[in-house]
Each structure stands twice: as structure tokens, then as C-alpha cells.
Amino acid sequence: MRISDDRYSRDRSRLDLALQFIRHEARTHTIKTWTGLTDDRIRKLYRTYVADSSECHVPRHRGKSPSQAAFFMRSPRMRQETALLASMLLLFDVLPAQPVSADAPRPDATVPRGSLLCKAFEAYRELSPRPNISFEHTVFLATALLRGHELRINACRDCGSVVVVDRLVLRTPTCLECQQTHATFRPPSCRTR
């Protein structure tokens, strides 16, 4: 009896997470990776969700998930949003507070971690005045920051707030706000004539 209760509760958590992912417009492949559900079960779940949902239509995304780290670095505004999202990933423990060494085991795509990922994404959407980063891009960012091959988290050299930088950047970066403060308060001798 105990075993079947445990199984039921595990299955229930996976279905709940899949529904949250569907609501956030995740791709089938992503839902499969994080919940372990089969394609067929995800399809059925999606159909039931759309049929039962009184909310507006949830678009279903097919094809490849995003994989471009450059997306997060393409403009000062995107870098600022990426920093906010990375802060939420740290705050909700999706990412470890301390950098993970190369040979240490890394947190996996598990149901509890998936649930924290949803919370971090929802907090980012609430805090950003005009959120531009999708759930799929959030999944990509969380994975990229954990691996540290392309992007890494750093602290602004002036105020210590979270910044996300290209792995190859050597200088300690500054956040957008500190950059703007420097630009406003440059001494006259530094201004271009």
C-alpha cells in the first residue's frame, strides 16, 4: 500500500509539473526531459488541459529549443533582464549559490528543481516591467549557467549585484545601472570634445 501511495504521489507531482510547463508554453521535449513523461502522455495532457482550460489558447511550440547564448547578451536591456532572471534562479535555488567545480556532480533536471524553475520564472515575469525572456529561454539559461561553457554569473565590480557575462570576458563587469551612473557623472576631463 505504501509503495503504491508513493508511486501515486510521484506520478501526481510529475503531472502537476508538466501542466505548469504547458502553461508556460514549454516544448514537448523540455517537458519530457524534466518530468520523464512519455510523448503520448504529454500529448494527452496537453489536449485535456486545452479542453478544460477557460484561459485563452496556449500555443504549442514544436521543434528545437533555443540554444543561442548570444540571445542574452544582444543589448544592454537584454543583459539587464538576464541579470534579473539569473538572480531569481539563484534566489529559488535552481542554481547553486557557489560555483560548481568541473568534476562535481551537477543538479539534474528533476521534478523538484523543475518546480523551483517555474517559481523563479514567474517571479522574473512579475518583477520585469516588460519581460522578454520566454520559459524555454529560461530553461536554456539555467542549463548554460550551470555548465558554465558559454555564460557565467559574476558580481558587478562596483555594486556587487548579479551580472551574467560571456565566459570569455576577462574584465570584471559592471551592471547597467553602474555603467549609466558612470556615464552621467564623468568628470569634465573624461568627456569627448
- What's the min distance (Å) between Cβ of 159 and Zn ion? 3
Instruction: Output 28 or 82, the one with its CB closest to Zn ion.
Output: 82
Site string for Zn ion, 25-54 (x = CB under 5 A): ------------------------------
Instruction: Output 31 or 85, the one with its CB closest to Zn ion.
Output: 85
- What's the min distance (Å) between Cβ of 174 and Zn ion? 5
Instruction: Output 31 or 175, the one with its CB closest to Zn ion.
Output: 175
Instruction: Output 115 or 179, the one with its CB closest to Zn ion.
Output: 179
User: What number of chain residues touch Zn ion (CB under 5 A)?
Assistant: 5
Residues 47, 17, 70, 168, Cα dihedral to 10°:
-160
Instruction: Output 111 or 178, the one with its CB closest to Zn ion.
Output: 178
Residues 143-182 that bind Zn ion (CB under 5 A): 156, 158-159, 175, 178
**Whole-angstrom distance, CA of residue 163 vs CA of residue 160:** 9
- What's the min distance (Å) between Cβ of 157 and Zn ion? 8
- What's the min distance (Å) between Cβ of 160 and Zn ion? 7
- What's the min distance (Å) between Cβ of 179 and Zn ion? 8
Instruction: Output 86 or 175, the one with its CB closest to Zn ion.
Output: 175
- What's the min distance (Å) between Cβ of 38 and Zn ion? 46
3-state secondary structure the chain: CHHHHHHHHHHHHHHHHHHHHHHCCCCHHHHHHHHCCCHHHHHHHHHHHHHHCCCCCCCCCCCCCCCCHHHHHCCHHHHHHHHHHHHHHHHCCCCCCCCCCCCCCCCCCCHHHHHHHHHHHHHHHHHCCCCCCCHHHHHHHHHHHHHCCCEEEEECCCCCCEEEEECCCCCCCCCHHHHHHHHHCCCHHHCCC
**Whole-angstrom distance, CA of residue 166 vs CA of residue 19:** 33
Residues making contact with Zn ion (CB under 5 A): 156, 158-159, 175, 178
